[in-house]
């Protein structure tokens, strides 16, 4: 049997003339099929060619005319806490998704009658567990169209306060109390009725280069001189975790080289460390596994919660989401991801 040619993510980035981070984003979103060999992600030549052909088709005049004909009800605009306008993208769109961009579910867009009659439901966050939740919602919840916004935890809560989001995921540490999420939620969602339910608990900590050459083991090691940091954007849970630990341990942010340079995802941070452009980054364990060539030092177990607004018209889908979260099937699927603790999944933590 002739072995098919395959490429590393670095080779793909050179062939397509895009950054390595963009390659990881394409893999994460399922646009580019990849598989792992040891610690390295690889893409077969046939899958790369299939991706290129799909991209060409999506850029054809026929497709552009079809996209231009989408009625106004298919788009959403708003500034939120991000200066760029938000746009809903159907599954037909080939535009890469970034922070503040909404992605529609493919199964909903494939049925025009459902897409036009269903109500838009904006879900914020980046974790893969939200993709699974959206799939269950599409199957079990009628008359809604889930739209995904990849903004961070704090931005998500602010957008919810403004009435721009319906279901927000959050993992924000309050350093003074050691509590996750509730101190922020109570302060931001003043005047709203809402319910907070646990989605999962996961390890968070340091991304370091293979072999941990700087010997980083805990938060106090961030005091080391000439330490290069890959940082997350303001408003993300990882950025809040870092800033709280710097404050609690008396470490000036200005001491960290690259503190003001922001990445917009866990994978972006891990990729910077993997490529030796940074010595350390903060994020979740799963991104380290996906990127490869980077070690992970777990330091905290962070609680990843969902917030749902209890306003008129939301009752039915909130009940549906709670049933999904508490179902054995959903919990079992989450548990298949290494590091995900589902012992409190579906537990209502706070309601007002």
Q: Is the pTM of this model over 0.85?
A: no
Structural tokens at position 236: 């993300």
Q: pLDDT (tens digit, 9 = 90+) per residue, 43-95?
A: 888 888 888 887 776 655 554 454 344 343 333 333 333 333 333 332 323 33
Q: Crossing angle, helix 20-28 and helix 266-274, to 10 degrees?
A: 140
- In our burial notation (b when 16+ CB lie closer than 10 A, e otherwise), range 252-283 reads eeeebebbeebbbbbbbbbbbbbbeebbbbbb
Whether 103 shows a pLDDT value over 60: the answer reads no
Higher pLDDT, 124 or 3: 124
Q: pLDDT (tens digit, 9 = 90+) per residue, 169-212?
A: 999 999 999 999 999 999 999 999 999 999 999 999 999 999 99
- Spatial contact of 227 and 279, defined as CB atoms under 8 Å apart: yes
As a whole number of Å, the CA-based R_g of the chain is 21
Compute how many other C-beta atoms are within 10 angstroms of the C-beta atom of residue 323: 14
Higher pLDDT, 198 or 14: 198
């Amino acid at each position: 049997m002739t072995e098919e040619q395959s490429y590393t993510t670095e080779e793909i980035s050179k062939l397509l003339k895009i950054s390595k981070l963009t390659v990881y984003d394409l893999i994460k979103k399922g646009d580019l099929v990849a598989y792992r060999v040891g610690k390295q992600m690889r893409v077969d030549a046939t899958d790369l060619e299939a991706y290129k052909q799909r991209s060409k088709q999506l850029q054809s005049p026929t497709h552009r005319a079809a996209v231009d004909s989408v009625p106004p009800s298919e788009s959403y605009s708003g500034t939120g806490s991000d200066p760029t306008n938000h746009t809903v993208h159907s599954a037909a769109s080939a535009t890469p998704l970034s922070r503040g961009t909404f992605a529609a579910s493919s199964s909903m867009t494939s049925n025009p009658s459902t897409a036009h009659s269903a109500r838009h439901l904006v879900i914020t966050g980046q974790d893969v567990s939200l993709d699974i939740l959206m799939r269950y919602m599409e199957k079990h919840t009628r008359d809604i169209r889930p739209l995904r916004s990849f903004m961070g935890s704090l931005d998500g809560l602010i957008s919810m306060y403004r009435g721009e989001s319906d279901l927000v995921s959050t993992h924000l540490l309050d350093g003074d109390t050691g509590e996750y999420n509730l101190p922020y939620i109570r302060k931001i969602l003043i005047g709203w009725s809402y319910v907070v339910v646990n989605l999962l608990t996961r390890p968070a900590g340091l991304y370091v280069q293979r072999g941990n050459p700087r010997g980083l083991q805990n938060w106090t090691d961030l005091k080391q001189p000439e330490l290069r940091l890959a940082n997350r954007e303001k408003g993300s849970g990882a950025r809040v975790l870092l800033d709280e630990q710097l404050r609690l341990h008396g470490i000036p942010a200005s001491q960290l080289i690259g503190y003001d340079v922001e990445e917009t995802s866990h994978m972006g941070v891990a990729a910077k460390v993997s490529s030796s452009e940074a010595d350390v980054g903060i994020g979740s364990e799963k991104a380290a596994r996906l990127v490869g060539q980077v070690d992970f030092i777990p330091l905290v177990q962070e609680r990843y919660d969902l917030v749902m607004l209890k306003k008129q018209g939301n009752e039915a889908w909130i009940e549906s989401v709670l049933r999904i979260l508490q179902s054995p099937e959903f919990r079992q699927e989450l548990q298949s991801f290494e590091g995900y603790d589902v012992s409190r999944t579906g537990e209502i933590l706070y309601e007002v």
